[in-house]
Amino acid sequence: MPSGERRTTLADVAAEAGVSVALASIVMRGAPGAGAATRQRVLDVAGRLGYRPDSRARLLRSGRSHLLGVVFDVRHPFHVDLLTGLYAAADTAGYQLTLSAVTPRRDDRTALAGLLQDRCEALVLFGPRTPVAELAGISARLPVVTLMRGVRHRGLDVVRTDDRRGSQLAVDHLVALGHRRIAHVDGGRSHGSAERRQGYRDAMRRHGLEASARVVPGGSGEDDGARAARLLLDEPPTAVTVFNDLCATGLLDVVRRHGLRVPDDLSVVGYDDTAFSRLAHIDLTTVAQDIDTMAAQAITRAVARIEGTPVAHREVLLPPRLVVRGTTATAGSSPGRRAGPPDPPRR
Amino acid sequence: MPSGERRTTLADVAAEAGVSVALASIVMRGAPGAGAATRQRVLDVAGRLGYRPDSRARLLRSGRSHLLGVVFDVRHPFHVDLLTGLYAAADTAGYQLTLSAVTPRRDDRTALAGLLQDRCEALVLFGPRTPVAELAGISARLPVVTLMRGVRHRGLDVVRTDDRRGSQLAVDHLVALGHRRIAHVDGGRSHGSAERRQGYRDAMRRHGLEASARVVPGGSGEDDGARAARLLLDEPPTAVTVFNDLCATGLLDVVRRHGLRVPDDLSVVGYDDTAFSRLAHIDLTTVAQDIDTMAAQAITRAVARIEGTPVAHREVLLPPRLVVRGTTATAGSSPGRRAGPPDPPRR
DNA sequence: TTGAAAGCGCTAACAC
DNA sequence: GTGTTAGCGCTTTCAA
């Protein structure tokens, strides 16, 4: 019956070990100032009693919480992937993470409010939809680091991938394969959409291909990709860069049903290196964001702000990386599957 | 500069409003026992000062935390999907969730330890790999609800899908389509593997098909599916049920490359209804678990244990549901894509 | 309806 | 080395 006895407190341990609470506290924290024998005895008793320090009481007293609040969206696989690196980085920096999720039924504001009550020392927000004014208001009380969203405000730190550069990498890759008629499927109102489109435009211009540039309305979903494919089909290009991977799979499906072979007739580049892109079945060439560095930078920033370390720039722009898989090939290439190795190692 | 002033406390609000802290506390909690005018005044001051109650201090004093600890694994999309329903259910029950993630670099034990310090009133564990003995030990101190793992222990609550029944649904579906030579790709050491295999065996026997039953070693990854496909290829059945969706995609990829058409030459049923299975490109017939009910049941259980409400059974077994998509068709069917509606209504 | 006082479990000064 | 004292921000008796 769990509700029966009170749980073991530091006082219980101290009493059992025959020392004062303060001394027991010193031992439990691993702080200097306790005899070796005593230390061992207290530790033994604590273990035997199944003692677990109460982090709340501990933090309440010590003022600091060493807690970093994280808001992520369960719908975005990329967010979830980021958590791995974030935990590792926080651990290294000596901080704990407290997670609050955004779900289809739980918005940004709710997720944020929960963290604010938990007395986090800083907030790490994954692609927040919260208005900048609101974020700014919060950042007046505690440091806020924004990931994957280019908010421009002097109180907010931003860590994001250079999406413009990412699109350029995609176009450069296709041009190197001999493509000239390269289209771009837009992301609509999604974050990063404008940057990715601009990167495409820049690259086309740089290659002297502005004349054959073509931007088709798309979006972030599979449906959007399918719709874009139909628009493209009247006068198909030889290659296309797509806003993101999910949209790209929608496009792939439609063009294949219309008899186009990928990559023989059409090369396709996605964006984000979403988990499913790696499936042998999809095997999508895509632009990857450097997840681990993003995570590390976010934590570094947050900690620097908390501890008052000077930080040069408010915004960290990370270089993207092209992951070449099976949906891109040389322009006008003959049928046949590429012979290369499946995937470069990750992580 | 966020580090400047101390944050507003209840004492500040009380002082500013000219009342005692105790009274201010009553107002902030919405507890009865304060005059309407006073109530309004305190609320106004709190709003003006941007006061946020400190949950830690509050919980420390009141003893109860109304906090439910959740351990999930970032690698499992299914876990992430569950969070949505879990937040909703917890909210309804008047509890907060505190999340702790398992990652490739952060194990079950670490995730659990973090929550234990946070003084959760109960734990909800998603497919925990922790040894039963350890879980049992924890459950002596606070209620533990396990999801998606059939631990048998009198102190642990279990909420899971009837995987045996799930495999049977898959086989029944295939038999109804006229298949008789149906194989099963095993999940190896993964959780649920034995149940799913047993369900397959039961169903084959029930249909008088034991003679043509065939279990091929597989696993939970795409590679495992590919390997299984090669084993199957020497004497291919007309249909196959696969341990999970990821394994199924690996199998699909290989059999297609060997010239087999799906579903014309081979029907394939996956398991889990993982997000990518819905992609038009993959369009996998699969067995779905009832995510929302699982979430609701988990919370209901946890809360019942906390509040001492009697609960009939330790284990809740939820019925699975078959989702028919494009990888299954009648045995020996001629080429052509199925014409039916995309997804049938539940059950 | 309101306030004073005690104390949740712990840490941080300081004394011994 | 070790114990004493005070108090983090809040809720909770209990008395006024």
Task: Give the pLDDT confidence of A93-115 residue by residue, as tens digits.
Answer: 989 999 999 999 999 999 999 89
pLDDT band per the 50, 70, 90 thresholds, residue A290: very high
Say whether A163-289 and A65-161+291-319 share the same fold: yes
Furthest CA-CA distance within chain B: 86
Residue-level pLDDT at A62: 84
The CATH number, out of the four listed (3.20.20.140, 3.40.50.2300, 3.30.70.120, 3.30.450.20), of the domain defined by the range A163-289? 3.40.50.2300
pLDDT band per the 50, 70, 90 thresholds, residue A65: confident
Mutate: best of A1, A74, A124, A262, partner B, most B CBs <10 A: A74
In this model, does residue A343 exceed pLDDT 50? no
Residue-level pLDDT at B312: 83
Separation in Å, CA of A196 to nearest CA in chain B: 24
A65-161+291-319 — its CATH code? Answer: 3.40.50.2300
Q: Show residues of chain A in contact with B118, CB under 8 Å.
A: 55-56
Q: Which has more confidence, A279 or A240?
A: A240
Residue-level pLDDT at A333: 62
Helix or strand (DSSP H, E) at B203: helix B193-206
Q: d(Cα B159, Cα B300) in Å, to the nearest integer? A: 11
Q: Within 7 A of a protein CB, which nucleotides of strand D?
A: 1-5, 7-13
Could you tell me the distance in Å between the CA of residue B224 and the C1' of nucleotide D11? 57
Q: Within 7 A of a protein CB, which nucleotides of strand C?
A: 1-5, 7-13
Judged by CB atoms within 8 Å, which residues 86-115 of A form the interface with B?
Answer: 87-88, 91, 96, 98-101, 103-106, 114
Dig out the tokens for B11 from the structure.
């004492």
pLDDT band per the 50, 70, 90 thresholds, residue A2: very low
pLDDT band per the 50, 70, 90 thresholds, residue A59: confident
Q: Which has more confidence, A168 or B5?
A: A168
pLDDT band per the 50, 70, 90 thresholds, residue A76: confident
Mutate: best of B8, B52, B56, B268, partner A, most A CBs <10 A: B56
Torsion of CA A63, A67, A70, A74, to 10 degrees: -120
Q: What is the mean pLDDT of residues A195-215?
A: 97
Domain boundaries, chain B: 10-53, 65-161+291-319, 163-289
Question: Over chain B (347 residues), what is each successive 10-residue block's mean pLDDT?
Answer: 64 93 92 90 93 88 88 88 95 93 95 88 94 92 91 92 97 98 95 94 98 96 93 96 94 93 96 88 94 96 92 92 97 52 36
Q: d(Cα A102, Cα A104) in Å, to the nearest integer? A: 7
Q: d(Cα B326, Cα B285) in Å, to the nearest integer? A: 6
Residue-level pLDDT at A321: 97
Which residue from B2, B140, B252 is facing A140, i.e. has the nearest CB? B2
Residue-level pLDDT at B5: 54
Residue-level pLDDT at A5: 55
In this model, does residue A312 exceed pLDDT 60? yes
The one-character DSSP state at A286 is: E
Q: Does A339 lie at the interface with B, CB-CB under 8 angstroms?
A: no
Helix or strand (DSSP H, E) at A184: strand A182-185
- Nearest nucleic acid nucleotide to A26, CA to C1' distance: C11
Dig out the tokens for A139 from the structure.
């950042």
CATH architecture of B10-53: Orthogonal Bundle (1.10)
Residue-level pLDDT at B105: 94
Q: What is the mean pLDDT of residues A199-213?
A: 97
Residue-level pLDDT at A232: 96
Q: What is the mean pLDDT of residues A227-242?
A: 96
Closest CA to the C1' of C8: that residue is B61
Answer for the pair A182, A212: CB distance below 8 angstroms, yes or no. yes
What percent of chain A lies above the pLDDT cut of 70?
94
pLDDT band per the 50, 70, 90 thresholds, residue A335: very low
Could you tell me the distance in Å between the CA of residue A185 and the C1' of nucleotide D9? 54
pLDDT band per the 50, 70, 90 thresholds, residue A149: confident
Answer for the pair A265, A308: CB distance below 8 angstroms, yes or no. no
Best CA proximity match to A42, nearest among A58, A54, A57, A27: A27
Integer CA distances (angstroms), B178 to B237, B243, B322, B330, in order? 12, 21, 17, 6
Residue of B nearest to A138 (CA): B2
Judge if the beta carbon of B119 is closer than 7 A to nucleic acid strand D.
Answer: no
Q: How is B105-169 classified by DSSP, letter by letter?
A: TB-HHHHHHHHHHTT-SEEEEES--S-HHHHHHHHTTS-EEEES-----TTEEEEEE-HHHHHHH
Residue-level pLDDT at A299: 97
CB contact under 8 A, A276 and B280: no
